[in-house]
Amino acid sequence: MYGMAQRPQQTWQRWPGWSMISASNYLGFTLWFTGLHGTGKSTLATLLQNALALRGYKVEIIDSSTLSYWLQRELHIDETIKGDRSHIPGYDAFVTYLCAILARNGVITITTSVSPFEAARSHAREHIEHFIEVYLNCSLSQRRRRLHQKESEIFVKDSLYQEPAKAELCIDTETELAERSALRILLYLEEEGYIAPLWEDLPTTEELAAIKTRLHPVEYLE
């Protein structure tokens, strides 16, 4: 339950399988990315932000390193702690609060913190009305290569991370291109009614069949 006045339920028309929402309806929701450092959360978040902004939606990325900077340096919290500390207890609760506020004001938020604890993610799911958990994963060797290229460090041990049991989407960022993953997330958002499809008129049954046939070879629908 919310720690503040309960927001009124948002309502909209639904067509089976497709959204009737336009960007001007200001439906706010949260894409809660979770995954160890180096799994590609920031890369995928940026691709989605650009794609959604082009469709007319208001989108904000809650970037872990930027938020950690403001909390630690500008607000003088834990000044002795260096680096990205977004996995420490309490961080996800603060991010949950930000996402809930932005969602109530029609903003789509995308989080990029590790969010290693199942209890913290469950808390976020309970307090954010439209919550979509996206689990990103890849091998340790791939993560190390990416972090080396970015001159970043690993702050969370694999043994500490608790994999999601009921994530809406699970993405292997080692075997799937970031652009393809972004398209898969956009398709999910369309099918679940969070965003409007790109066409103005609903496709016919024959058109849908043709689209599925065309996308299947590149695994957009798998």
pLDDT of residue 196: 87
pLDDT of residue 217: 53
Q: DSSP E strands: which ranges in the chain? A: 14-15, 18-19, 30-34, 59-62, 108-111, 131-137, 169-172
| pTM for the full predicted model | 0.71
pLDDT of residue 93: 86
Cα–Cα distance, 161 to 155 (Å, whole number): 11
Phi-psi region of 90 (alpha: psi -120 to 50; beta: other; left: phi over 0): left
Cα–Cα distance, 97 to 65 (Å, whole number): 17
Q: Which residue has the tokens 């999910």?
A: 188
| Pairing of the two strands 30-34 and 108-111 | parallel
Q: Where do the structural domains in the chain lie, given as residue ranges?
A: 24-218
pLDDT of residue 198: 77
pLDDT of residue 154: 58
Cα–Cα distance, 185 to 220 (Å, whole number): 9
pLDDT of residue 189: 95
pLDDT of residue 76: 56
pLDDT of residue 26: 59
The residues near 22 (Cβ < 8 Å, ≥ 6 apart) are 56, 196
pLDDT of residue 81: 47
Q: Which residue has the tokens 């809660």?
A: 32
- Give domain 24-218's CATH number out of 3.40.50.10680, 3.40.50.720, 3.40.50.300, 3.40.718.10: 3.40.50.300
Kindly list the catalytic residues: 115
Q: How far apart are the first and last CA of the chain?
A: 34
Low-confidence ranges of the chain (pLDDT < 50): 1-22, 79-81, 218-222
pLDDT digits (tens, 9 = 90+) for 133-159: 999 999 989 998 888 776 565 566 788
pLDDT of residue 164: 95
